[in-house]
């Protein structure tokens, strides 16, 4: 058992439906076997546990571990290539790098760098776009297992449009995916995610094989891209004769364990389908800005009852920090004027934590309630930085959370725990 002392802030209930920030100042959280068993004011709570070890997290804030609902492992090294729209960026930047992961040794290096980047950002759970090469996906799962993070990932599949080395067939995709799922799905904190790259690079036969894979792997997730870029959407509609959401839905791929990235340009009919299936959208505002994909219709998602959370979409996205995504989401909504929704501390923290856990089907992560796993991040900036000064002068915890989103990043992450086990310690 361990008792953590600090200022804890979380957002357990949906602020778009009345939920609010919850703060525990000068508080205690008691963890046994990785699970939160008690919480309350420090003086009162420690009296019940007089002999247990104590961990002081003084200064800064402790928040639930961040959840990244959309991030590409093979794109780590092409991060920051600015100034191109989606299809050109894929062609010139992302895909040439992704082809290098045919080499298992290269993939192993990237996998280690990738999980290291996640933990340093305070990300404790992620739905990760894998590689087109099964060996590279094995490397990712191995690194993820060693890291202690909660990771869902899988083989990315395509059978058209992309360069030949990245292509598979319906039959081969099924065999490769089942092999990977057998090795990794349900092992510790790892789960398999069926992952067609996007409809544009998939035939109906391949999407049918994805449905078959899913049926053969109970509890697996489904993830892909949708409605990201206007030129892409036009091509998908011409190729399939249906709207973009329909290309997945007609194969039965959309349910409560499905996460579609972007959805910047949905029709009302597509939003209605997503809501009725209980599927979630990964909103990736830094990527949408970097690729000029467009402004995310967040208000329409709320009004249609479509679940959504945040994703970094590295390498089109420009960092691993969910704090940065929250800030960009807030900027984007304000810039949308009457069509946007104002996002302050509560919805930002919700979207970066609990909403993501819910999208990934993790019912015991995303907030710091009794009974939840202790997945947590101690945000404690280096002394003298602007965030340090801002936090010392915050009006209240809501203001402090707002300042963390405005100014914070990976360098402000001091310690990180998953299921009570420490996975990162900055040590100064
Ligand atoms: N659509 C298909 N592949 C990709 C990708 O790698 N990144 C993004 N942002 N969109 C995609
Ligand atoms: Zn993506």
Question: In this predicted model, what pLDDT tens digit does every residue of 322-353 receive, in sequence order?
Answer: 999 999 999 999 999 999 999 999 999 999 99
Residue 60 in this model has a pLDDT that exceeds 90: yes
In a domain, 356, yes or no: no
Distance 391 CA to ligand 1 centre (A): 36
Is 259 within the bounds of a domain?
yes
State the distance from the centre of ligand 2 to the C-alpha of 272, rounded, in angstroms: 23
Q: Are residues 47 and 86 in the same domain?
A: no
Q: Assess if residue 211 is contained within a domain.
A: yes
- Asked whether residue 359 is assigned to any structural domain, the reply reads no
CA atoms of 310 and 177, how far apart (whole Å): 26
Count of domains for the chain: 2
Report the separation in Å between the CA atom of 229 and the middle of ligand 2, taken as the mean of its atom positions. 12
Average pLDDT, the chain: 98
Please report the pLDDT score of residue 428 as a whole number: 77
Regarding whether 54 and 95 lie in a shared domain, the answer is: no
Pocket test for ligand 1, best of 90, 130, 161, 201 (most atoms within 8 A of CB): 90
Residues 6+ apart with CB under 8 A from 70: 127, 129, 223, 259, 261, 282, 284, 311, 312, 313
> Is residue 45 pLDDT above 90, yes or no?
yes
Identify the nearest ligand to the CA of 200 by its number.
1
Which of residues 303, 320, 337 is at a domain's end? 320
Closest ligand to 260 CA? 2
From the CA of 223, the nearest ligand is 2
Task: Kindly give the distance from the C-alpha atom of residue 225 to the centroid of ligand 1, in angstroms, as a whole number.
Answer: 7
Domain boundary among 287, 320, 353: 320
Whether 297 and 372 map to the same domain: the answer is no
The structure's pTM equals 0.99
Residue 51 shares a structural domain with residue 77: no
pLDDT of 120 higher than 80: yes
Amino acid 400: pLDDT: 98
Alpha carbon of 261 to ligand 2 centroid (Å):
6
Distance 76 CA to ligand 2 centre (A): 12
Ligand nearest to the CA of 228: 1
Does 52 share its domain with 112? no
Cβ pair 170, 206 in contact under 8 A: yes
Q: Do 403 and 421 have their domain in common?
A: yes
Report whether pLDDT(392) > 80.
yes
pLDDT for the residue numbered 175: 98
Neighbours of ion ligand 2 (CB under 5 A): 261, 313
User: Do 293 and 180 fall into the same domain?
Assistant: yes
The string of pLDDT tens digits covering residues 401-415 is 999 999 999 999 999
Query: Mean per-residue pLDDT for 281-292?
Result: 98
Residue nearest to atom 9 of ligand 1 (CA): 316
ipTM above 0.90, yes or no: yes
Q: In this structure, which residue's CA is closest to atom 3 in ligand 1?
A: 197
Which atom number of ligand 1 is nearest to the Cα of residue 317?
9
Q: How far apart are CA 252 and CA 248, in angstroms?
A: 7
Give the number of other Cβ atoms within 10 Å of residue 352's Cβ: 30
Ligand 1 center–CA 211 separation, angstroms: 21
Q: 280 and 358 in contact (C-beta within 8 Å)?
A: yes
pLDDT value of residue 64: 99
Residues 189 and 265 in one domain: yes
Q: Residue 12 pLDDT > 80, yes or no?
A: yes
pLDDT of residue 106: 98
What CA–CA distance (Å, rounded) separates 263 from 295? 10
What is the spatial distance between Cα 312 and Cα 33, in angstroms, rounded to a whole number? Answer: 31
Q: What is the mean pLDDT of residues 67-84?
A: 97
Same-domain check for residues 106 and 140:
yes
The CATH number of whichever domain residue 28 belongs to comes to 2.30.40.10
DSSP letter assigned to residue 372: S
Distance 246 CA to ligand 2 centre (A): 19
Say if 119 falls within a structural domain.
yes
Structural domain includes residue 243: yes
CATH code of the domain containing 288 = 3.20.20.140
Q: Span 125-149, mean pLDDT?
A: 98
Same domain, 38 and 156: no
What integer is the mean pLDDT of 91-113? 98
Ligand 1 atom nearest to CA at 291: 9
User: In the prediction, which pLDDT does 251 show?
Assistant: 98
DSSP string, 279-322: -EEEE-HHHHHHTT-----HHHHHHHT-EEEE---TTTSS-S-H
**130 with 264, same domain?**
yes
Of 252, 285, 320, the one marking the end of a domain is 320
Q: Which residues line ligand 1 (CB under 6 A)?
A: 72, 86, 90, 94, 197-198, 225, 228, 287, 313, 316
For ligand 1, pick from 74, 79, 94 the residue to mutate: most ligand atoms within 8 Å of CB. Answer: 94
Of ligand 1's atoms, which has the minimum distance to the CA of residue 75? 6
What are 204-243's pLDDT values in tens digits? 999 999 999 999 999 999 999 999 999 999 999 999 999 9
Residues 186 and 129 both lie in one domain: yes
Instruction: Classify residue 184: in a domain, yes or no.
Output: yes
Closest CA to 195 of 180, 419, 186: 180
Judge whether 126 lies within some domain.
Answer: yes
User: Domain range holding 119?
Assistant: 66-320
What is the phi/psi pair of residue 193, to 5°? Answer: -125, 120
Q: What number is the average pLDDT over the span 295-302?
A: 98
Q: Whose alpha carbon is nearest atom 5 of ligand 1? A: 90
């Amino acid at each position: 058992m361990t008792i953590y002392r600090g200022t804890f802030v979380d957002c357990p209930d949906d602020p778009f439906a009345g939920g609010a920030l919850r703060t525990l100042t000068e508080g205690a959280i008691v963890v046994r076997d990785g699970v939160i068993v008690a919480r309350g004011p420090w003086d009162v709570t420690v009296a019940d546990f007089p002999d247990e070890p104590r961990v002081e997290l003084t200064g800064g804030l402790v928040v639930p571990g961040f959840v990244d609902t959309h991030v590409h492992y093979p794109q780590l090294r092409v991060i920051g290539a600015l100034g191109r729209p989606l299809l050109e960026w894929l062609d010139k930047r992302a895909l040439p790098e992704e082809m290098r992961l045919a080499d298992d040794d290269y993939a192993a290096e990237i996998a280690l760098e990738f999980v290291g980047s996640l933990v340093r950002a305070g990300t404790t759970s992620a739905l990760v776009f894998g590689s087109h090469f099964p060996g590279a996906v094995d490397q990712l799962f191995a690194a993820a297992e060693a890291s202690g993070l909660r990771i869902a990932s899988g083989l990315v599949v395509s059978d058209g449009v992309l360069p030949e080395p990245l292509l598979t067939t319906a039959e081969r995709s099924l065999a490769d995916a089942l092999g990977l799922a057998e090795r990794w799905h349900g092992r510790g904190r790892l789960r398999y995610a069926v992952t067609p790259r996007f409809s544009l690079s998939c035939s109906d036969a391949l999407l049918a094989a994805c449905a078959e894979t899913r049926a053969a792997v109970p509890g697996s997730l489904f993830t892909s891209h949708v409605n990201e870029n206007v030129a892409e959407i036009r091509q998908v509609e011409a190729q399939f004769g249906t709207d973009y959401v329909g290309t997945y839905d007609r194969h039965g791929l959309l349910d409560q364990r499905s996460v579609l990235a972007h959805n910047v340009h949905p029709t009302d009919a597509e939003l209605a389908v997503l809501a009725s299936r209980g599927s979630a959208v990964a909103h990736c505002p830094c990527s949408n800005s970097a690729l000029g994909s467009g402004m995310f219709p967040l208000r329409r998602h709320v009004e249609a009852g479509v679940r959504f959370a945040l994703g970094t979409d590295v390498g089109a996205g420009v960092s691993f920090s969910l704090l940065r995504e929250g800030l960009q989401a807030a900027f984007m909504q304000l810039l949308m004027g009457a069509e946007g929704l104002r996002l302050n501390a509560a919805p930002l923290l919700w979207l970066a934590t609990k909403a993501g856990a819910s999208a990934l089907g993790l019912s015991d992560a995303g907030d710091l309630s009794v009974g939840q796993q202790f997945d947590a991040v101690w945000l404690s900036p280096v002394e003298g930085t602007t965030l340090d000064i801002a936090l010392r002068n915050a009006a209240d915890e809501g203001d402090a959370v707002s300042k963390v989103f405005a100014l914070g990043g990976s360098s402000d992450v001091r310690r990180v725990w998953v299921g009570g086990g420490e996975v990162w310690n900055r040590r100064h």
